[in-house]
């Protein structure tokens, strides 16, 4: 009997505790809840999309960006860094933040992929028509964020002989590089809704294969590809197993395409001519699609470096397809496997680095110049000592 009474007392006390807790929660909600217009305003705020996704960890690049802007008043810098591919292979990337930095979530972004046996250095080499800027830096100066990729076995990566299957793995490497851009997007540094990609030579076939792979350029389940434009410079008929005509048939109706080649290029002219009807077909193709030939026999990076019109055609194409593209408001993307990056090195613009030296040189030249005799004809220049 005593046991039953004790049990009943416990049950009774438990019921009272639950009731009091419920009343307390309800009272707290009533006290803390806004009323009238304040309540409606609070409700509307809850429904607004997030303006900025707080990163899971401190941004390893952000502090470098602030330092760089302090050191280089002109403002353009880039970074060398490494990420891990899905098989743990280390990949070298070169990242150019959008300039000016205030573009933030409105900044378009371009990923650049070099050709076989070359490296991302091709996009850094000075081009005469661009006032000796590299192409990546030139696009940065036009307001784009830029990511240049060293393919595995190339550039600053561990060098090794590549097997045919390695080129298949590179499709996954491009997805890993894209995940780095997802991270930058989520930190509010660029807008993946304005993503373009440019490939050169075999790199052109590779980016086309990546774009055609299910999940290529896709940040999460249920989303479509972020790819908004693609430029293929000197693609091959069959770049390491990626057949150009087949891939173009799939991409032409979905992604704005620009194919470029020299008219007398023995490697790429014929494949691009063969793909032209597919790319520019009036039925089913994107209206921005185009194929451009240049009066040249140059191929790949040489066409980019030495054919003056190429470096003006590409920015104009990206401007019309992604930079000025009307997009939905910026929103964070799923990134279930955040990319880890390290070995970050800050690199100032070549122009910025040379400016102090050039200024000092001019000052020294003016200091050592012979004064011109007043009211007398120009004196002959002194013969310099050998």
Angle (CA) 306-98-329 rounded to 5° is: 125
> Which carries the bigger pLDDT value, residue 247 or residue 282?
247
Residue owning tokens 């350029």: 217
pLDDT at 75: 65
pLDDT at 252: 93
Rounded to an integer, what distance in angstroms lies between the CA atom of residue 242 and that of residue 54? 39
Task: Report yes or no: 195 and 230 within 8 Å, Cβ to Cβ.
Answer: no
| pLDDT > 60? residue 181 | yes
pLDDT at 65: 52
Please state, as a whole number, how many other Cβ atoms lie within 10 Å of the Cβ of residue 335: 17
> Which carries the bigger pLDDT value, residue 42 or residue 278?
278
Q: Is 304 exposed, middle or buried (0-12, 13-18, 19+ CB in 10 A)?
A: buried
The residue among 262, 196, 195 whose CA lies nearest residue 235 is 262
- Name every residue whose Cβ is closer than 8 Å to that of residue 83 and which is 6 or more positions away in sequence: 90, 91, 93, 176, 177, 180, 339, 340, 341
Domain 62-346 indexed as CATH 3.40.50.150? no
pLDDT, tens only, 18-40: 443 443 434 334 434 444 544 44
Please state, as a whole number, how many other Cβ atoms lie within 10 Å of the Cβ of residue 264: 13
Average pLDDT, stretch 298-305? 96
| pLDDT > 70? residue 114 | yes
Confidence of residue 240 (pLDDT cuts 50, 70, 90): confident
Task: Report yes or no: 170 and 149 within 8 Å, Cβ to Cβ.
Answer: no
> Which carries the bigger pLDDT value, residue 181 or residue 15?
181
pLDDT at 64: 52
Q: Number of C-alpha atoms within 13 angstroms, CB side, residue 63?
A: 6
| pLDDT > 60? residue 368 | no
pLDDT at 48: 38
The full set of domain ranges for the chain reads: 62-346
Per the prediction, the chain carries an average pLDDT of 77
Three-state SS annotation for the chain: CHHHHHHHHHHHHHHHHHHHHHHHHHHHHHHHCCCCHHHHHHHHHHHCCCCCCCCCCCCCCHHHHHHHHHHCCCCCEEEEEEEECCCCCEEEEEEECCCCHHHHHHCCEEEEECCCCCCHHHHCCCEHHHCCECHHHHHHHCCCEEEEECCCCCCCCCCCCCCHHHHHHHHHHHHHHHHHHHHHHHCCCCCHHHEEEEEECHHHHHHHHHHHCCCCCCCCCCCCCCEEEEEEECCCCEECCEEHHHHHHHHCCCCCEEEEEECCCCCCHHHHHHHHHHHHCCCCCCCCCEEEEECCCCCCHHHHHHCCCHHHHHHHHHHHHHHCCCCCCCCCCCCCCCCCEEEEEEEECHHHHHHHHHHHHHHHHHHHCCCCCCCCCCCCCCCCCC
pLDDT at 286: 77
Task: Report yes or no: 149 and 93 within 8 Å, Cβ to Cβ.
Answer: yes
| pLDDT > 90? residue 136 | yes
pLDDT at 283: 61
Highest mean pLDDT among 11-15, 148-152, 333-337: 148-152
Lowest mean pLDDT among 72-76, 88-92, 107-111, 375-379: 375-379
The residue among 207, 200, 120 whose CA lies nearest residue 171 is 207
Please state, as a whole number, how many other Cβ atoms lie within 10 Å of the Cβ of residue 32: 7
| pLDDT > 60? residue 41 | no
Task: Report yes or no: 181 and 109 within 8 Å, Cβ to Cβ.
Answer: yes
């Amino acid at each position: 009997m005593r046991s039953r009474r004790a049990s009943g007392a416990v049950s009774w006390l438990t019921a009272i505790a639950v009731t009091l807790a419920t009343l307390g929660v309800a009272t707290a909600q009533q006290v803390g809840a806004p009323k009238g217009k304040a309540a409606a305003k609070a409700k509307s705020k809850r429904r607004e999309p997030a303006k900025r996704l707080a990163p899971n960890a401190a941004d390893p690049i952000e502090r470098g960006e602030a330092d760089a802007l302090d050191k280089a008043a002109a403002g353009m810098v880039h970074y060398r860094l490494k990420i891990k591919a899905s098989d743990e292979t280390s990949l070298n990337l070169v990242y150019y933040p959008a300039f000016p930095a205030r573009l933030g979530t409105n900044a378009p972004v371009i990923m650049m992929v070099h050709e076989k046996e070359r490296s991302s250095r091709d996009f850094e080499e000075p081009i005469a028509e661009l006032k000796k800027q590299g192409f990546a830096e030139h696009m940065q100066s036009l307001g784009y964020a830029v990511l240049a990729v060293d393919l595995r076995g190339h550039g600053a990566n561990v060098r090794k002989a590549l097997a045919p299957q390695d080129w298949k793995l590179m499709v996954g490497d491009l997805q890993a590089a894209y995940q780095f851009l997802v991270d930058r997007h989520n930190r509010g540094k660029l807008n993946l809704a304005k993503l373009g990609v440019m490939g050169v030579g075999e790199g052109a076939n590779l980016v086309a294969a990546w774009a055609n792979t299910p999940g290529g350029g896709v940040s999460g389940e249920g989303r479509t590809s972020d790819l908004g434009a693609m430029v293929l410079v000197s693609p091959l008929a069959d770049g390491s197993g990626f057949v150009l005509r087949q891939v173009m048939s799939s991409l032409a109706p979905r992604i704005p395409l620009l194919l470029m080649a020299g008219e007398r290029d023995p490697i790429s002219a014929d494949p691009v001519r063969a793909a032209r009807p597919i790319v520019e077909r009036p039925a089913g193709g994107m209206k921005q699609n185009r194929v451009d030939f240049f009066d040249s026999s140059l191929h790949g990076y040489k066409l980019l470096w030495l054919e003056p019109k190429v470096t003006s055609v590409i920015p104009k194409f990206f401007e019309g397809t992604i930079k000025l593209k009307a997009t939905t408001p910026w929103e964070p993307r799923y990134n279930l496997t955040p990319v880890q990056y390290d070995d970050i090195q800050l690199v100032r613009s070549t122009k910025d680095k040379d400016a102090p030296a050039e200024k000092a040189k001019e000052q020294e030249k003016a200091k050592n110049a012979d004064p011109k005799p007043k009211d007398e004809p120009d004196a002959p220049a002194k013969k310099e000592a050998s």
